[in-house]
Structure 1
Amino acid sequence: MSNETKRVYDARSKYPDRGKVAENSFNPLSVVIKNLETSLLLLASKEEPVLQVVLSHLSEFARKQDENILELKQQLLLESLVDKELFIDAESVIVRRFALFLITAILDNTELGEYDTEKTTALLDVAFRFYLKENDEFCIEYLTYIVNLCLRDPKVAQSIVENIEFLEKFKNIFISSDNPDTVFNSIEALHKILQVQSAEEMLEFTTLPGFPVDRIVCELTNEFLEIRLAAIKVLKTLLADTSDDSVFEPLHRCFFVLQQLVKAFCLDPKAPDALGIIEVLATALRSEKMTKLFFEQNLFDQMVENLKEIMDNLPPEVVCAIISIFAEAAKYQKYLPRIHKANITDMFIKCLMKSKQEPAPFVIMGIIRLIAHPEALRAFVAEYENGALSRLISLFRAPDVSIKTREQSAELIGSLLVNSFRVTAEQLMELNIAESLTITLKQGLSELSIDLILSLLAIIESLADNDEYRTIIGENTALTEQIAQLLMRSYAHSILVHNIFRCLCTIIDEQPVREVLLENYIISSMKRALKSLSNLVKTAVTNFILQTTRFNEFVDAYIDRGILEVLMLFQKHAFCVSTWGPAIESILSKCPTMKFCIRNYLGFTDITAGKDFYVSKRKFEDFRCFQNILRHDCSPLEAVLVVNFDRPTALEEDVVCVPTYCLHDVDNAGDQKWVYCKRPADDKLPEYLEALNETLALNGLVENPDKIRRSIDFENVAKRSKIIAEAVNSVMGEDIKILDINTTEECSRHTVRCHLEHLRLTYHTNFIPIGAVHSGCQFERAILFKCFADQIGLPCTLQRSVDGRMLYNEVPLPLEVDKDIHCDQKTLKFMPWRMLRPTHIVDLMYNIGELYPMQSRQALQYLRLY
């Protein structure tokens, strides 16, 4: 340590001249300013006392009236304060408070669209930095309010999530703040942030460490109504996420929020925020975990007991709103007995029946869920006497009722038809439900929703399960017409088109329905559906075709009006529609003429009896050419053979007279008119069939008619085939020379050609009845053989050769193999015809009636392939 001593006082020889310093210093200046623009210039001062005085005056000026604030806005005070960063660095807390107050006053009188996103972002950037540095409670309150107002811009609210440092302090202040305004604006700001986030973003944001969800839940019982309402809004958003990863994943937090909600409601069910509490509680109970806690922790019983005491004193709107809680809880069937036992079912029925206004959708939704419980179902069915169903019908048909309520009403009727069909259906038919459905569907897609229409269609489907009710619905042609018209306008909604076709399938058995559909452009709608890009729509329309080919009028419409054409031309674009091919076959199986034209083949199940069967000598590559020949008044170059057993005389409307002036170089001597007919009469064919049946009877080969469709007489297949072949030969053997099968000489084709030419001249057309053909080779004989076989129940095919010049017939004649059950005649006897396979070719030209195994030398020789 130094030995030198320190002196406390040193004598001075010189002293400053204080008088001189005072003379040179700047004295305080007081100036009276009466102009706003001039006072704003003082904001550029670096003297905090000056800033304090100016900002104080501006604050007093702003408090006087709103017009003053508008004047401050016009003077760009907000922009000026932002440029000066709201005096963040001012040492005087009063300066900072006044600056923030003026900003809040201006923002309070600013609409959302007055400032663009850039200006709002600039203000928020300053506010964020201010917020991070500031500790003054009043400044924090102002800053929270500013942030809350700026977040009205969704773009700004989206970007705030990236400011992690700000959010961290924001959460800490919110959790610890006792300032009601800070708490309120913090909750409001959080709500705006959550609103602009997607589900994934919100999940990530709310599960961050320290997210103040517990503080929000606590504010449900805050003494200030505004804070309670703000907390309710945020909780409703958070509770909408019912996943296991949400912020309410911990059980203790789930129980806490349920407990707080029940407590807040029970404290004052008449409070202004009571409806909000109910809505949040109903949202929470959408989660099974929440519902389980609600019942297991006796919160349900607590609410029910509280309601019993105050129910009579609650306003009706509150009572019906409370039901939304139980409507959500009723989603889980295991709690239905407890809900019904607590007389909640009666509350639902009362709100539905006694409400003067339309009931809320959740009232009807709750009944839909409750009727899964038998006791609740019986209680509601008992209300039919008091007009429950008529109330529901009036709701879904009224255009002024909210669409959600209408949807739920129709869905409830559908559910009642499922759970209590007999009583409900009887009541609905007494109320003329078909008329109500017609009136509702007539309103069109502009007034109805997809869900409502689907529910109405479901009602029709349920009622149509009963034959008596289906007949009544089918007689209401206006309803069918509205469904058909609706289908034409519904192709923007594939699910709706699918359900309309499904509904039509349930009522198509009624004759009036079929007539109305064919008159109301159902074919045009089906063409559009077949060309749709939606596989669901294409599947629906092809299923409809499969269901309607039972009716001849639909089959004719499908062929004549282009449905078959679309099905054939668009096959390669429908590889994902499994019913496309069956739809084609379903049409063709009912029309052997078109099937043979397209497939050049008729199988065992393709029966030619019952309608005209046309076969052209010419093979068409495009079936539409032959279709045009049949559809329009024109004659083909080649002969067309017509088979019909039921028309011995031509119908007068089918006979066409040729005017005299159309005939050139024709001998018109006598009174005979020149007429032709595309559906000629055939008086010979029934005679041939009668003679054939007599021959079969003489040989004991006429089967019991009851067994023809169920079994096959394999033992007599060959015998019956030979008799039919001989009958065909006797009819078409005129001037035909019988040749040996081994010869290379052709049969008398020229004779047949001349004979057909003579018939064309006789009938004045190329459409020739098969009974008039007396000279025929393989082509003509195969047609007659197939037609005779179909008449007597012999399985037989008709096949055209590759070159198209020859037709031949095949029959099934399985060879019995010892100890092989699959070839046992007792087993095969009852085999369906569609499972049979052709095994032998019938010889109609050389060895009449002989059967040649397929691929044998004789079969190939018969087909002139050997």
Structure 2
Amino acid sequence: MTHKTRKDSEPLSKDKFGFISIESKSPETAVLLLNSPEEEVIVKACDAIFTFAEKGDENKLSLLGLGALEPLIRLLSHSSRAVRRGAVVALGSMAVHGEVKNALKKLNAIPSILEKLSPEEETVVHEFATLSLTHLSKDFSCKAQMFDSNGLPPLIQLLSSPDPDVKKNSVEVIYNLVQDYKSRLAFHKLGGIPSLLELLKSDFPVIQHLALGTLQCVTTDPDSRRTFREEQGFDRLMDVLSNPDFSDLHAAALQTLSNCLSDSQTVKLVHKSRGLARLLHFLMAPNAPGVQSAAVDCLTKVAQSAESLRLLHEEGTEKVLAELLSVDDIGVKTSACQAVAAMSFHPASKDIFRDLGVVPALTQLLRRQSLMLRAAATRALYGLSHGDQLNALSIYNTGGHEILVQQLHEACPKTVASSAATLYNMAAQEAIRSSIVSHGAMQALAEALKSKDTEVLLSSTLCVAELACEEEARAELRRAGGLEALVRLLHSPHEEVWKNACFAVKVCASDKPSAVEMCRLGALEILQEMICPESGRNALGGLALNSLLKSNLSVKYSLMGHLASSDIITCGFYDAGKARTGQRVLTLEELTQQPLNQHRPVFSVFTGSRKEKEEKQEDEIPAEETEDAVLQMLIQEAKESILQLNTEKEQYAALARLVSEAMGGAVAEEELHEFPWMLHLSELKFHLQSNVVPIGLIRKGIYCHRALLFKCLSDCIGLSCSLIRGDYNRAWNEVVLFEENPPSMQRSSRRSRFIVDLMHQPGRLLDVNTPAAQQYQTI
């Protein structure tokens, strides 16, 4: 495209100035003459300035220094058409220079130039006014001023101008303006899309390119895509794509089509017009990388429905994409990876991709420097390994899991999210899971759990939950500080993140040290608050809470006041008393370190020998705790004497008598107030210089002490009983007995629950439904 210029009867050399009505070859004189009262003088001065400016940037800058802009801007509103024409032509010639453009912006010339777009003005005025605007519209503040000055309507009108230069300039200005969101919306509302579609028929490639570029931009908006489709825009694009003579337009046309394929209606049009075959043609035939990449992007957009995936599969698209992964161009590789990811949702495509060796090829791409390529390849591996253990094994066999673990440290959230998700898919296999953990996955995931990106959190929490099936993985996560980040996610307002965090907490809580640590970090309090009826977050939160409590029976007993027969007390259990609402239950180590006080003692259980305690985790039992030799002797006596008895009823009764004898014998209810158990406990605390008292050292105990010892001994010798806390130092044990040889008609009532009397008539079993049992539980 060339600009129209005045044809002089006598060409001027570069170093001469055009003649005007007076004898002068000086640009200074021409600038001065712009202020003349005579129209003919002004017109000739404008022509001379135009001619001088066209000779080079140095001349344009010279005219700027001579102050030509201000009078030229003023002359844009002159009453004479000839003067206005001369002024706008001169300005258009000068506006290409950056310094002139900045000066025009400062002089607020845009409104005056926009006025020259009115239908009453001549074509040459339209041409040079729009030429000025093409340069100005590249500046952000100028774009905003054009929009605020209502510049879009006249520019849209000029898209239908008979003059190609005016069309070219107008569409270029519009292209620059619609890079901003508000201009895109305004362009659609003003009905500009039909005019753009008409420009696709232009004889000038530059106009077609600009029209397609503008369409590509505006079709990012859903309403614009709908209008584009209603105006037969899809057919226009397919006309371009079907014409070999328009090969230079194919990339831009495909990029526009890719936008439009975000709508299901356009996807239907592709199928209806057999556009899929046309897209595949661009992939299989030799084409420029930009065309191939854009065509693959279109296929990726098409592959969003089961029907589309089936058709792509039937066309053998997998083989084409596999070949594109080996081309040199990074953009084509990246697009091919994205298409593989989309097609991996079709089960048959997963198998074909595996047979074609796509998984090793993608694993190799993880080693490339391009961040976008690595992110796309990782996403493709995620899709191929999702629900497909053979593909997951293929990633493992090619060493992909090592690179994926490394990528968890990447700065790109998408790469981290896809890497964690792929590792989650792979971790279902035990051998792979162990290898992933051995390469430092838990340390990396501990950092990923601190991310603010939702996708990273979703995939990382799932990955943690899957890997935490391994004991070593739980230990690694604990050492890396990952449990603290995981507990914080229990506060997440995002429902899916919260659910995944609960799931991960549930799995990690199967490890007692991890459960203790999460309780120390406040996980129990958070979960109790989150699963209240008003929150609506009950199911998964309840499972996580139960898992934490099951692995930390000391806290469970403090909070719930109940241990079931399946809750087995082990070495390191302690009874810290009933927890206050909202108060965290301290760990045994924290309680041991407290100075001696007047509060109720903490009763600890140490059932093992020194050797067994040394084998325990360091954070389970405080190092300074002494052995409970008396408890170990009681356990040994129970094993030797109790288990020899014939029936469970006899065993429970005998064990009750053993517990009673160890803690001061039977005490009549009316004499309970004379029993010196409180003094005895105070003496023990003073002697030990600790608030923590081993249960075996208590020689004068009442309900709560005896019930704890009974539960401990029962669990150690394999008997089954529960432990229930009441009020005012009451606690009791329930056992279940089955009636021996019941009548055939009463088999449904064989099971009976009893409370074991450890205080008044040791060994007596009280049916839970009797007044005697009720009296034993209350004051």
What residue in structure 2 maps to residue 47 of structure 1? 38
Contact 1:786 1:798 in 2 (8 A): no
What residue in structure 2 maps to residue 9 of structure 1? none
Instruction: Measure the CA separation in 2 of the matches of 1:522 and 1:254.
Output: 53
What residue in structure 1 maps to residue 268 of structure 2? 292
What residue in structure 1 maps to residue 404 of structure 2? 437
Residue 509 of structure 1 and its aligned partner are, at CA, apart by 2.4
Residue 462 of structure 1 and its aligned partner are, at CA, apart by 1.3
Residue 550 of structure 1 and its aligned partner are, at CA, apart by 1.5
SS in 1 for 2:725: strand
Instruction: Measure the CA separation in 2 of the matches of 1:70 and 1:156.
Output: 21
Residue 107 of structure 1 and its aligned partner are, at CA, apart by 0.8
Say what the alpha-carbon RMSD is for the aligned residues: 4.1
Contact 2:234 2:257 in 1 (8 A): no
What residue in structure 2 maps to residue 82 of structure 1? 73
What residue in structure 1 maps to residue 58 of structure 2? 67
What residue in structure 1 maps to residue 445 of structure 2? 483
Unaligned runs of 5+ residues in structure 2 are 1-19, 617-622, 740-744
What residue in structure 1 maps to residue 633 of structure 2? 684
TM-score by length of 2: 0.82
AA matched with 1:782:
A
Instruction: Measure the CA separation in 2 of the matches of 1:368 and 1:278.
Output: 20
Superposed CA offset, 1:95-130 (max 9, x none): 33321111101211135972475633xx23223333
Shift of the 683–57 alpha-carbon distance from structure 1 to 2, 3 Å rule, reads: closer
Query: Which runs of structure 2 are paired with 1:428-507 in the superposition (5 Å)?
Result: 428-441=395-408, 444-446=409-411, 449-474=412-437, 476-487=438-449, 490-507=450-467
What residue in structure 2 maps to residue 394 of structure 1? 364
What is the count of residue pairs matched by the alignment? 741
Contact 1:603 1:796 in 2 (8 A): yes
Query: Which runs of structure 2 are paired with 1:650-661 in the superposition (5 Å)?
Result: none
Query: Which runs of structure 2 are paired with 1:102-251 in the superposition (5 Å)?
Result: 102-111=90-99, 114-115=102-103, 117=105, 119-120=107-108, 123-132=109-118, 134-158=120-144, 160-161=146-147, 169-175=154-160, 177-198=161-182, 202-203=184-185, 205-208=187-190, 211-243=191-223, 246-250=226-230
AA matched with 2:264:
E
Equivalent of 2:642, from 684, 693, 716? 693
AA matched with 1:237:
C
AA matched with 1:287:
D
Equivalent of 1:749, from 675, 696, 715? 675
Contact 1:676 1:764 in 2 (8 A): no
Shift of the 754–434 alpha-carbon distance from structure 1 to 2, 3 Å rule, reads: same
Contact 1:134 1:140 in 2 (8 A): no
Instruction: Measure the CA separation in 1 of the matches of 2:543 and 2:61.
Output: 77
Shift of the 112–390 alpha-carbon distance from structure 1 to 2, 3 Å rule, reads: farther
Contact 2:60 2:94 in 1 (8 A): yes
Contact 1:620 1:626 in 2 (8 A): no
Residue 605 of structure 1 and its aligned partner are, at CA, apart by 4.2
Residue 139 of structure 1 and its aligned partner are, at CA, apart by 1.8
Contact 1:629 1:635 in 2 (8 A): no
Instruction: Measure the CA separation in 2 of the matches of 1:151 and 1:677.
Output: 78
Contact 1:284 1:290 in 2 (8 A): yes
Superposed CA offset, 1:265-324 (max 9, x none): x2243x3x332233223333333322322332244446667987xx35x45564454433
Instruction: Measure the CA separation in 1 of the matches of 2:515 and 2:155.
Output: 74
Residue 410 of structure 1 and its aligned partner are, at CA, apart by 0.9
Q: Percent identity?
A: 19
Shift of the 785–503 alpha-carbon distance from structure 1 to 2, 3 Å rule, reads: same
Shift of the 729–330 alpha-carbon distance from structure 1 to 2, 3 Å rule, reads: closer
Q: Tell me, yes or no, if structure 1 residue 413 matches structure 2 residue 337.
A: no
SS in 1 for 2:232: helix
Residue 649 of structure 1 and its aligned partner are, at CA, apart by 9.0
Query: Which runs of structure 2 are paired with 1:324-403 in the superposition (5 Å)?
Result: 324-355=297-328, 357=330, 359-373=332-346, 376-384=349-357, 388-398=358-368, 400-401=369-370, 403=371
Contact 2:64 2:100 in 1 (8 A): no
TM-score by length of 1: 0.75
Residue 193 of structure 1 and its aligned partner are, at CA, apart by 3.0
Contact 2:730 2:778 in 1 (8 A): no
Instruction: Measure the CA separation in 1 of the matches of 2:77 and 2:418.
Output: 61
Residue 50 of structure 1 and its aligned partner are, at CA, apart by 1.9
Residue 778 of structure 1 and its aligned partner are, at CA, apart by 2.8
Instruction: Measure the CA separation in 1 of the matches of 2:645 and 2:703.
Output: 23
Equivalent of 2:759, from 831, 845, 851? 845
Instruction: Measure the CA separation in 2 of the matches of 1:216 and 1:472.
Output: 57
What residue in structure 2 maps to residue 98 of structure 1? 86
Instruction: Measure the CA separation in 2 of the matches of 1:325 and 1:349.
Output: 17
AA matched with 2:731:
L
What residue in structure 1 maps to residue 12 of structure 2? none
AA matched with 1:284:
C
Shift of the 325–597 alpha-carbon distance from structure 1 to 2, 3 Å rule, reads: closer
SS in 2 for 1:610: coil
AA matched with 1:392:
L
Contact 1:612 1:644 in 2 (8 A): yes
Residue 70 of structure 1 and its aligned partner are, at CA, apart by 1.1
Shift of the 118–810 alpha-carbon distance from structure 1 to 2, 3 Å rule, reads: farther
Instruction: Measure the CA separation in 2 of the matches of 1:436 and 1:279.
Output: 32
Contact 1:841 1:859 in 2 (8 A): yes
What residue in structure 2 maps to residue 728 of structure 1? 659
Instruction: Measure the CA separation in 2 of the matches of 1:683 and 1:168.
Output: 93
Residue 77 of structure 1 and its aligned partner are, at CA, apart by 1.4
Contact 1:609 1:645 in 2 (8 A): no
AA matched with 1:281:
L
Instruction: Measure the CA separation in 2 of the matches of 1:126 and 1:255.
Output: 38
Instruction: Measure the CA separation in 2 of the matches of 1:677 and 1:59.
Output: 98
Contact 1:529 1:541 in 2 (8 A): yes
Contact 1:594 1:623 in 2 (8 A): no
Shift of the 688–772 alpha-carbon distance from structure 1 to 2, 3 Å rule, reads: farther
Residue 749 of structure 1 and its aligned partner are, at CA, apart by 1.4
Shift of the 503–42 alpha-carbon distance from structure 1 to 2, 3 Å rule, reads: same
What residue in structure 2 maps to residue 587 of structure 1? 548
Query: Which moves more between the two structures, 621-630 or 345-354?
Result: 621-630
AA matched with 2:445:
I
Residue 242 of structure 1 and its aligned partner are, at CA, apart by 4.0
Residue 197 of structure 1 and its aligned partner are, at CA, apart by 3.0
Instruction: Measure the CA separation in 2 of the matches of 1:464 and 1:306.
Output: 39
Instruction: Measure the CA separation in 1 of the matches of 2:293 and 2:38.
Output: 64
Contact 1:396 1:406 in 2 (8 A): yes
Superposed CA offset, 1:120-172 (max 9, x none): 3xx232233333263422222222323333333444434545666x7555444
Instruction: Measure the CA separation in 2 of the matches of 1:618 and 1:466.
Output: 43
